[in-house]
Structure 1
Amino acid sequence: MESNNVMILKYEGGLTDHHVIDAVRFGQSIQGVGKLYSSVGHFLYTGSVLKPRQLSMVRVHATESGAGCYEIGAMLAVVGATQDMFFTDSVNAYRWLMEKIVHLIHGEGTGRADYEKTAGEIMDKANEDKAVSEILAHGLVAANSEQKVIQSELIAALRDLAMSNQPALRQAVAPVGRDCNTLTQLGSIKTTEADADAIRSKEDLEVGDMQEYRCERISSLDTETGSCKLKIEGIEGVISGKISDPVLFIPHNLYSQALDMHSPLIISAKPLLKDGAICKLYIADAKAV
């Protein structure tokens, strides 16, 4: 089903390259996405954040998967509506808001949420897009309030929404790093293994931007899982790593040669940070020094 009403979930890499996925974790992921989208949909439709054990006014349907890749669609519908489509005539406005809010919830899980920036972007969009303004008027903000007051109310609501949806987000990313390398939602929200580990962690972790590091030595390497131990220039001690570079599975590859020869590498990696310090590196590729 190819439609603006359908939001595609795309699982890529790992087992999904062979068009299979662990059934239990896939089920957890679909449940998590269903809860997450239902909660955000309820927020947009009613202007209020779901309370514990409250029934959502919006339900989520799963649609058929696309051909040639491992993906499935999600579609929203209003409970009790005669027409089954949630997005109706305001499809573009609802999709834009869904993407912004789900991205913010994802950012809360990875330690990168910026509530003030997101609320400001939503308010700016409402000033130029009538459909977005009408959705916000459902109860998210008071139409006769001053802009500053409206934005502060929106920030508080978004924070409440993001915090309450972290359990659903953890379910949604269950296959990432286990059955697939990435999960992409709404076309632009991509969860990598680094993101998923931060989301699943009970500790307060943050995912940093991709950057280059000088690896002085690889001290251990598992060529099946990609797990490794690294000595990184400028960082005390040994750092855990995880290599997702497909080159790893080729005999006599760059990484196994660096392990054997004790030779340095320049690696491109996303850091996982705890209290500002790197605790793990997720390596996408590397080059010889």
Structure 2
Amino acid sequence: MVEMQEDGSIRLEIRYEGGDAESHQIDMTALGESLQGFGRIYAVIGHFAATGQYAKQMQALSVKTYAQEAEPKCFSVGALLSFATTSGWFQGLLPAVITAVTAYVLHRCSGNSEEMRHLRELLEQQYGKDQKMMERMMDTIDRLADGLRPSVRKSVAPVGSTCDRIDLYANGDRHQTIDQAVKDAVMSSEDEQLIGERPYSIIISEMDYDRRTCKIRLTDEDLSSSLDEDGHPPRINAVITDPAIEMEGNAYLQAFMTRKPITVKAKATLKDGDITRLYISDSA
């Protein structure tokens, strides 16, 4: 449970994991772009949580985000949300609203609406059956999320280039992970939707071992309604994020060599109801 500090602030941490970050270092250009994005995201969301209003101009915000020194673990940046004023819109729920709205903004920008339920539950806890107020707040949050799209794109810059993922913490509790699947969905200009992790049965038909990418065909109920010119299910691009890919004789390489089906856990992007890409995190 994320709580306010005694001084009325909220302590945050942006933790960059994997890649260069494993050596406690990170590309400065990507880091600078990412921190600019997160700085605006947290300031705008914090202002909304404190006042119930969406302010576009930085000078109008009642919340400031400060970078703080953090102990080296992977590569992390400590941050502090400091509130100039609060109006009691979310009395007692301020930290929870900030983490919930942050999650909603990230998922809305990546085409994933799963966080809507948790956010609505918090608003219902605050406003009960006042549907008019609920809809007003959700409309404000939607406009806020759409306005923050450029900042979200900046915030994910290091993923895939100098780190594997970004974990967001509030008062020591991790509340969000941004991986390659989320970044690609955020950066995509197409009308795609990112869905959560689940099992898939696949056949690996092509593999780039160095880049951890492959082409696969689905073998179960997730098959596309369309077939290719040879009458086969279409091949789908996939990214293997599972660290086990580095091990000799791993399950993915064995599946590729034998052309036998393998069950994997993966996130997927959808377009017009069809799977367009898999992000494989584990093998069964």
- CA distance in 2 between counterparts of 1:112 and 1:199 reads 10
The number of aligned residues is 259
**1:113-132 map, 5 Å:** 113=113, 117-118=117-118, 120-126=120-126
- 2:215 is matched with which residue: 229, 252, 258? 229
Partner residue, 1:134: none
The 1:91–1:74 alpha-carbon spacing in structure 2 relative to 1, beyond 3 Å, is farther
Give the letter aligned to residue 40 of structure 1.
Answer: I
- CA distance in 2 between counterparts of 1:122 and 1:43 reads 14
- Matched position secondary structure for 1:188: strand
| Cα contact 1:224–1:249 (8 A) shared by 2 | no
Deviant stretches of 4+, over 4 Å: none
- Matched position secondary structure for 1:266: strand
Deviation at 1:239? 0.5
Which segments of 5 or more consecutive residues in structure 1 lack a partner in the other structure? 129-145
- Matched position secondary structure for 2:234: coil
| Cα contact 1:119–1:154 (8 A) shared by 2 | no
- CA distance in 2 between counterparts of 1:221 and 1:279 reads 17
Deviation at 1:284? 0.9
- Matched position secondary structure for 1:208: strand
Q: What is the CA deviation profile of residues 79-116 of structure 1, one whole-angstrom value per residue up to 9, with x for unaligned ones?
A: 6x8xxxx9xxx996321110111111012112223686
| Cα contact 2:101–2:119 (8 A) shared by 1 | no
- 1:156 is matched with which residue: 132, 135, 139? 139
- 2:265 is matched with which residue: 245, 263, 268? 268
Q: What is the CA deviation profile of residues 223-265 of structure 1, one whole-angstrom value per residue up to 9, with x for unaligned ones?
A: 2221111122134211100001112112332222222232321
Name whichever structure is richer in helix by fraction: 1
- CA distance in 1 between counterparts of 2:132 and 2:91 reads 28
Which stretch of the first structure deviates more once superposed, 49-58 or 66-75? 49-58
Sequence identity percentage: 27
- 2:201 is matched with which residue: 214, 221, 242? 214
| Cα contact 1:231–1:238 (8 A) shared by 2 | yes
The 1:91–1:172 alpha-carbon spacing in structure 2 relative to 1, beyond 3 Å, is farther
Normalising to structure 1: TM-score of the pair?
0.81
- CA distance in 2 between counterparts of 1:10 and 1:104 reads 19
The 1:276–1:46 alpha-carbon spacing in structure 2 relative to 1, beyond 3 Å, is same
- Matched position secondary structure for 1:99: helix
Give the letter aligned to residue 104 of structure 1.
Answer: Y
- CA distance in 1 between counterparts of 2:206 and 2:120 reads 47
The 1:119–1:151 alpha-carbon spacing in structure 2 relative to 1, beyond 3 Å, is farther
Q: What is the CA deviation profile of residues 155-196 of structure 1, one whole-angstrom value per residue up to 9, with x for unaligned ones?
A: 111111111111111111111233222212232111121111
The 1:116–1:265 alpha-carbon spacing in structure 2 relative to 1, beyond 3 Å, is closer
The 1:264–1:116 alpha-carbon spacing in structure 2 relative to 1, beyond 3 Å, is closer
| Cα contact 1:220–1:230 (8 A) shared by 2 | yes
Which stretch of the first structure deviates more once superposed, 239-248 or 36-45? 36-45
- CA distance in 2 between counterparts of 1:256 and 1:161 reads 44
Partner residue, 2:12: 7
The 1:248–1:117 alpha-carbon spacing in structure 2 relative to 1, beyond 3 Å, is closer
- 1:281 is matched with which residue: 266, 278, 283? 278
Give the letter aligned to residue 261 of structure 2.
Answer: P
- Matched position secondary structure for 1:161: helix
Partner residue, 2:105: 105
Deviation at 1:61? 0.5
